[in-house]
């Protein structure tokens, strides 16, 4: 029988303070009173004063509410029965079916020993040329989609999830619009993917603190499945909401903010989640795809900025396209040598020429006369945008590479491509096609 405390001595923001003994740091407690009950977590101990963040928020908490410490930290079930289920930010079912309480594990477990990690080696095919060709997604990679509000980032996330060959999808929704939650649920359901998915969804209307729990729960479940030899894809949307929730708690706790109000440990907090992406030798893997919305399309905002330093690249979604310049997959070098011999050449050459195309566009918009080369670039850039960059293009990698060569051959001469001579001999599409095209 655990002791119940009745004296709450401070309520500020979503943090309450009680006087209690023998309480472990980060332990959970149940706060209950006439207006309902909520879980809370210990976030500071000072002598006999215990500060707790209340998951459901502090509204309606009275100074004589009961606080009962549970003697354990946040736990989540990792049973097989989770598949096909939907939970809220506290792990309570959202789908009206019974709660799952088997195989509980504590969330936020220790990090993987770097010496036990292995070099990622498997490409994840998505059918999107801007990913497959130019910024290949790799199993066990952690990648955010940087985007401004209004871009179809959740659609992109869902599309990648459905086309990727994985065993389990774990979705962590943070501050999701209710519509977006329904979109994910319906899309996964329609495509028959719900049966191998688990969803933890915190919607925008739910208490803020619950948002903080979502990534840890999603990742704890993913980790357990990965250790059972499953390839798990974790989708997190939107990590900016998670960071904002961190900010809210930090300010309440009177921590000195570092940059735009965010706490100094934002980097470590984000890293603790993203670093859960791993390929377990001899077992499964966790790949993390997250959405990070950028307030004001500003990549130097603390959230995308810190994220960029943690993740292995980013997809930069802008004007309904995956931008070739802001986007990067740091792990692509590990897999794109094994796909097709011309993969890297197409990747490098096309992007370099596209950069030149952008410069030409600038020149053109300023009214300068266009040289012969400029005209070639303009033709090239437009073809690239419509035939490969458009998000509606859905073709396998090999077809995308062939298409890349064709675009090059249609627009420029081999010598202008900057490709090594022997490679041109090997891969450049045969000239008779080009000659007829010219005439």
Identify any residues that bridge with 201 across adjacent strands, giving them in sequence order: 173
Using rule CB under 8 A, residue 280 touches other proteins: yes
Sign of the torsion angle spanned by Cα atoms 412, 347, 402, 133: negative
375 binding other proteins? (CB under 8 A): no
User: Is 379 among the residues that bind other proteins (CB under 8 A)?
Assistant: no
Residue 319 binds other proteins (CB under 8 A):
no
Cβ proximity to other proteins: between 178 and 325 the closer is: 325
Residue 374 CB, nearest approach to other proteins (Å): 8
Q: Least distance in Å: CB of 141 to other proteins?
A: 8
Chosen residue from 420, 425, 426, 437 binding other proteins by CB under 8 A:
420
Which residue number, 204 or 227, has a Cβ lying nearer to other proteins? Answer: 227
Question: Is 378 near other proteins (CB under 8 A)?
Answer: no
Of 150-158, 186-194, 329-337, 402-410, the window that binds other proteins (rule: CB under 8 A) is 329-337
297 is a contact residue toward other proteins (CB under 8 A):
no
Regarding 404 and contact with other proteins (CB under 8 A), the answer is no
Sign of CA dihedral 353, 359, 363, 366: positive
Q: Is residue 21 a contact residue for other proteins (CB under 8 A)?
A: yes
- Provide the minimum distance between the beta carbon of 343 and other proteins in the complex, in angstroms, as a whole number: 13
Q: Is 314 helix (H, G, I), strand (E, B) or coil?
A: strand
Query: Distance between terminal CA atoms of the chain?
Result: 90
- Residue 406 as a binder of other proteins (CB under 8 A): the answer is no
The answer to whether 286 and 276 are in contact (CB under 8 A) is yes
300 binds other proteins (CB under 8 A): yes
Q: Closest separation between CB of residue 204 and other proteins, Å? A: 27
> Contact region for other proteins (CB under 8 A) — 5-13, 42-50, 214-222, 394-402?
42-50
Q: Is 45 left (phi over 0), alpha (psi -120 to 50) or beta?
A: beta
Stretch 59-88 residues interacting with other proteins (CB under 8 A): 73
| Nearest approach, Cβ of residue 253 and other proteins (Å) | 9
- When binding is defined by CB under 8 A, the residue of 338, 352, 375, 425 that contacts other proteins is 352
Give yes or no for residue 152 binding other proteins (CB under 8 A).
no
Q: Strand 75-77 vs strand 104-106: parallel, antiparallel, or unpaired?
A: antiparallel
Tell me the longest C-alpha to C-alpha distance in the chain: 90
Question: Contact between 105 and other proteins (CB under 8 A)?
Answer: no
Dist CA 413 CA 429 (whole Å): 11
Integer Cα distance of 303 and 286 in angstroms: 22
Shortest distance (Å) from residue 216 CB to other proteins: 12
Q: Interface with other proteins includes 36 (CB under 8 A)? A: no
Residues 140, 285 contacting (CB under 8 angstroms): yes
Nearest distance from C-beta of residue 48 to other proteins, angstroms: 7
Q: Which is nearer to other proteins, 334 or 391 (CB)?
A: 334
Q: How far is the CB of 157 from other proteins (least distance, A)?
A: 21
Q: Among 194, 288, 199, which residue's Cα sits nearest to residue 239? A: 288
Q: Which long-range contacts (CB under 8 A, 24 or more apart) does 176-184 make?
A: 176/201, 176/202, 176/203, 176/204, 176/237, 176/238, 177/203, 177/204, 178/203, 178/204, 178/205, 180/154, 180/237, 183/154, 183/155, 183/158, 184/154, 184/158
- Where in 171-210 is the site for other proteins (CB under 8 A)? none
Backbone angles phi, psi at 4, to 5 degrees: -110, 135
Q: What is the closest distance, in whole angstroms, from the C-beta atom of residue 24 to other proteins in the complex?
A: 4
Nearest Cα residue to 404 out of 385, 377, 378, 432: 385
β-pairing verdict for 313-318 and 142-147: parallel
Q: Give the torsion through C-alpha atoms of 177, 180, 181, 182, to 10 deg.
A: 120
**Rounded CA gap, 276 and 287, in Å?**
9
Between residues 313 and 381, which has the closer beta carbon with respect to other proteins?
A: 313
Rounded least distance, CB 330 to other proteins, Å: 8
Position among 6, 7, 117, 375 found at the interface with other proteins (CB under 8 A): 117
Write the DSSP symbol of residue 387.
I
Task: Indicate whether 351 belongs to the interface with other proteins (CB under 8 A).
Answer: yes
Select the residue interacting with other proteins from 62, 64, 186, 333 (CB under 8 A).
Answer: 333
Nearer to other proteins, 227 or 395 (CB): 227
């Amino acid at each position: 029988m655990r002791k119940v405390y009745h004296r709450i001595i401070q309520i500020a923001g979503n943090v309450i303070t009680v006087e209690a003994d023998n309480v472990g740091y980060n332990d959970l407690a149940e706060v209950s009173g006439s207006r309902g009950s909520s879980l809370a977590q210990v976030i500071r101990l000072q002598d006999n004063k215990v500060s707790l963040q209340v998951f459901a928020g502090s509204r309606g908490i009275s100074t004589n509410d009961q606080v009962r410490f549970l003697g354990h930290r946040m736990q989540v079930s990792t049973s097989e029965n989770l598949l096909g289920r939907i939970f809220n930010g506290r792990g309570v079912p959202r789908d009206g079916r019974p709660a799952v309480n088997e195989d509980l594990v504590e969330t936020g477990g220790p990090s993987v020993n770097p010496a036990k990690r292995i070099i990622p080696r498997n490409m994840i095919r998505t059918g999107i040329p801007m990913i497959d060709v130019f910024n290949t997604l790799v199993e066990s990679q952690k990648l955010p989609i940087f985007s401004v509000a209004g871009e179809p980032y959740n659609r992109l996330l869902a599309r990648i999830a459905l086309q990727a060959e994985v065993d389990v999808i774990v979705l962590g929704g943070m501050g999701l619009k209710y519509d977006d939650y329904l979109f994910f649920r319906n899309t996964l359901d329609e495509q028959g993917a719900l049966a191998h998915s688990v969803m933890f969804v915190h919607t925008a209307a739910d208490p803020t603190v619950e948002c903080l729990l979502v990534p840890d729960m999603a990742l704890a479940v993913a980790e357990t499945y990965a250790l059972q030899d499953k390839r798990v894809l974790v989708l997190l949307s939107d990590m900016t909401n998670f960071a904002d929730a961190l900010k809210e708690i930090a300010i309440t706790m009177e921590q000195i903010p570092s940059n735009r109000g965010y706490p100094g440990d934002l980097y470590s907090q984000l890293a603790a989640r993203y670093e859960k992406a791993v390929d377990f030798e001899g077992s499964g893997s966790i790949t993390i795809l997250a959405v990070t919305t950028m307030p004001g399309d500003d990549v130097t905002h603390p959230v995308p900025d810190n994220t960029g330093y943690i993740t292995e690249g980013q997809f930069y979604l802008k004007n309904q396209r995956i931008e070739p310049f802001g986007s990067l997959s740091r792990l692509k070098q590990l897999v794109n040598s094994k796909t097709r011999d011309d993969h890297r050449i197409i990747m490098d050459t096309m992007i370099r020429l596209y950069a030149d195309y952008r410069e030409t566009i600038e020149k053109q918009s300023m009214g300068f006369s266009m040289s012969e080369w400029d005209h070639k670039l303009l033709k090239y850039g437009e073809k690239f945008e419509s035939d490969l960059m458009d998000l509606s293009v859905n073709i396998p990698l090999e077809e995308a590479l062939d298409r890349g060569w064709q675009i090059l051959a249609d627009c420029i001469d081999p010598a202008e491509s900057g490709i090594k001579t022997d490679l041109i001999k090997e891969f450049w599409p045969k000239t008779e096609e080009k000659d007829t095209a010219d005439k």
